[in-house]
Amino acid sequence: MTNSIADIQTADTMFITGSNTTENHPVIGAQLKRAVKAGKKLIVADPREIEMAEYADVFLKIKPGTSVALHNAMMNVILEEGLEDKAYIQNTTEGFDELKKVVEKYTPEYVADICEVDAEDIRKAARLYGEAGTATIIYCMGITQHVTGTESVMTLSNLAMLTGNLGKAGGGVNPLRGQNNVQGACDMGALPNVFTGYQPVTNEAIVKKFEDAWGVKLSDKPGLTITDTVKAIEEDRVKMLYVFGENPMISDPDTKHVEKALKKAFVVVQDLFLTETAELADVVLPAAAYAEKDGTFVNTERRVQRVRKAVDAPGEAKPDWVIFMEIMNRLGYEKQYKDAEEVFEEIRQVTPQYAGISYERLETKGIAWPCPTEEHPGTPILHIGKPARGAGLFKAIEFVESEELGDPEYPLVLTTGRILYQYHTRSMTGKTEGINKIAPESYIEMNPELAKKKGIKDGDVVKVKSRRGEVQIKAKVTDRVEENVLFIPFHWSEGANVLTNGEVFDQFSKIPGLKVTGINVEKLA
């Protein structure tokens, strides 16, 4: 997030898109509902009529995968009606002329057909956003999990810069991060192209810095993403895979494809339970859970917070960092750490954004990075004054429809996501009886009109097919979704990822297009 959780509630207008906030970030959802009740304006764009839609001044029930067109149309209206922040554009950005040229053709009428919404609603949304004193954008995987995910985020940044809503309180572009420490994992360079603190592995000076710090020679060749790794195993380029606290058999697209790769490579899995992925492993290591170890998590607003040991790990399970240290030691790298704090001290040495953060400071409250010195209070809002890179770069982006669609054999659009009660692949929530009573099994949301045409009643078991596979699950008939759009949560093995595409990815981030899958549905005979 560019801004903090407390800050986004102060915006005059909130634009929530691709985020089912009340189910996926329930506490933020509660806070945003309170803000709307107190008079803040709300725009919601989502293929499903989620709870936040009930609170919206404008709700745009867009066709999945059409966000780029919608954002371009909002910018078209803002420019047409002179709502842009001319001074901000003039003084702090570049690439404006090209942006203006590209969004020209995205009139509300043109885009209304693409997104399957009303042109007037697009105008209303653009005005609510453009005329607001401060306007914030809140988004989640509904924006990013597309083959044009990166570009969709860029169009949101365009929208924020166009109206001068970047680098100020109540503004910003705010992705809500889905997992407890996805921010921390990214910060630590659990990404194939960067070391900690987003320092590129391709930069000679940075590589030298880490070589000095770690006392070894390092590779400057970017590594493989998760999705590329699956392919590389198939092509014999990767022979061994170490999976730490992940369950790709449920969370990754095209389950059949993933299963083939996991069976082919030598696989080590380190986890709390014998997950669907661990069942296929060659070695499984028992790890300690969050309540069994000291350390830190970094939340969606970049705030580093303490995790504290409350109970002992069962049997011989060990904290993950201890396992990595012991393997490193056995491979001849002798560095030992006596506790998690000592690991954190090393992180501070090599990560400029973390330099001023210590366990001692975290004892009383969390700190948002960047925090360069021990005297620095942390940075709840980024890009104040001017964007971090210098001039804010407008990226002119054309809308492209997903290739998943248009196959007459799979004419319906499947989208996916999480529900309130279950979490990710259920390895944790699936162990609570009450949770499983409320949310016991996979299902598909289907519009009443479609159900009628297919002769399907609420609760019937249906067969859902895509080019990748097939699941048989119960139908939940609801007008939350439009007639040609369906939704399956991804938590269960009989879930969305049996059907999703594991081969075509976003060209920049390699994120799979999980939110748009061409499918067909039939009543089970």
Partner 1 sequence: MINLKINGFEVQVEQGATILQAAEKIGIKIPTFCYDDRFKPHGSCRICVVEVEGARSLMTACCIPASDGMVVQTESEAVVEARKEILDLILANHPLDCLTCEQAGRCTLQDLCYQYDMEETSYDGKRKSYEKDVSNEFYTADQTKCILCGKCVYMCSQVQNTDALCFVDRGFETHIGTPFEQGIAESTCVSCGNCVSVCPVGALMPKRREKYRYWEVDKVQTTCSYCGVGCQMELLVKDNKIMEVLPVKGHCNEGLLCVKGRFSFDFVSHPDRLKKPLIRKNGELQEATWDEAYDVIVNKIKEVKDHDGPDAVAAFSSARGLTEDNYLMTKMMRAVIGTNNVDHCARL
Q: Which of residues 170-209 bind partner 1 (CB under 8 A)?
A: 176-193, 195-196, 201
Using the rule CB under 8 A, which residue among 16, 89, 249, 340 binds partner 1? 340
Instruction: Single out the segment in contact with partner 1 by CB under 8 A; choices: 63-71, 127-135, 163-171, 267-275.
Output: 267-275
In the complex, the smallest distance separating the C-beta of residue 505 from partner 1, rounded to whole angstroms, is 9
Alpha helices in 215-273 (DSSP H): 226-234, 248-251, 255-264
- Pattern 36-75, binding to partner 1, x per CB under 8 A? -x--------------------------------------
Torsion of CA 119, 123, 128, 131, to 10 degrees: 170
Nearer to partner 1, 320 or 494 (CB): 320
Comparison of 270 and 466: residue with beta carbon closer to partner 1: 270
Write each residue from 451 to 490 as x if it is in contact with partner 1 (CB under 8 A), else as -, in one continuous string.
----------------------------------------
Which of 106/195 has CB closer to partner 1?
A: 195
Query: Least separation, in Å, of the C-beta of 465 and partner 1?
Result: 22
Is residue 262 involved in binding partner 1 (CB under 8 A)?
no
What is the nearest approach in angstroms of partner 1 to the Cβ of residue 76?
30
CB 514 within 8 A of CB 416: yes
User: Is residue 33 a contact point for partner 1 (CB under 8 A)?
Assistant: yes
Shortest CB 267 distance to partner 1, Å: 9
d(CA 274, CA 243): 12
Print burial letters for 397-406: b (CB count within 10 Å at least 16), e (below 16): bebeebebbe
Nearest to 107 by CA among 62, 73, 158: 73
User: Which C-beta is closer to partner 1: that of 66 or that of 181?
Assistant: 181
CB of 221 to partner 1, least distance (A): 6
Other C-beta atoms lying within 10 Å of the C-beta of residue 216:
9
Q: Which of residues 301-320 bind partner 1 (CB under 8 A)?
A: 301, 303-312, 314-320
Rounded CA gap, 279 and 297, in Å?
28
Kindly state the DSSP code that residue 394 receives in the 8-state scheme: -
Residue 376 as a binder of partner 1 (CB under 8 A): the answer is no
Q: Which residues contact 7 (CB under 8 A, 6 or more apart)?
A: 136, 169, 170, 172, 380, 381
- 511 contacts partner 1 (rule: CB under 8 A): yes
343 binds partner 1 (CB under 8 A): yes
Q: Is 509 in the site for partner 1 (CB under 8 A)?
A: yes
Q: Does 389 interact with partner 1 (rule: CB under 8 A)?
A: no
Instruction: Determine the distance from the C-alpha atom of residue 357 to the mean position of all C-alpha atoms in its chain, rounded to a whole number.
Output: 26
SS3 content of the chain, % helix, strand, coil (to 5): 35, 20, 45
Closer residue to partner 1 (CB): 386 or 510: 510
Kindly state the DSSP code that residue 198 receives in the 8-state scheme: G
Site for partner 1, residues 268 to 297, rule: CB under 8 A = 268, 271-274, 278-279, 281-287, 289-293, 295-297
* 95/286 with CB nearer partner 1: 286
How many other CB atoms are there within 10 angstroms of residue 236's CB atom? 9
Beta strands in 238-376 (DSSP E): 240-244, 266-271, 283-286, 295-298, 303-307, 367-368
Q: Which is nearer to partner 1, 231 or 463 (CB)?
A: 231
Rule CB under 8 A: say whether 501 interacts with partner 1: no
CA distances from 230 to 211, 248, 250, 494 (A): 29, 10, 14, 21
Burial class (CB in 10 A: 0-12, 13-18, 19+), 490: buried
**Is residue 91 at the binding interface for partner 1, with CB under 8 A as the rule?**
no
The answer to the question of residue 433 lying near partner 1 (CB under 8 A) is yes
Q: How far is the CB of 378 from partner 1 (least distance, A)?
A: 10
Secondary structure letter of residue 391 according to DSSP:
S
> Total number of residues binding partner 1 (CB under 8 A)?
148
What's the closest the beta carbon of residue 20 comes to partner 1, in angstroms? 12
CA 183 from chain centre, in angstroms, equals: 10
Instruction: Rule CB under 8 A: say whether 232 interacts with partner 1.
Output: yes
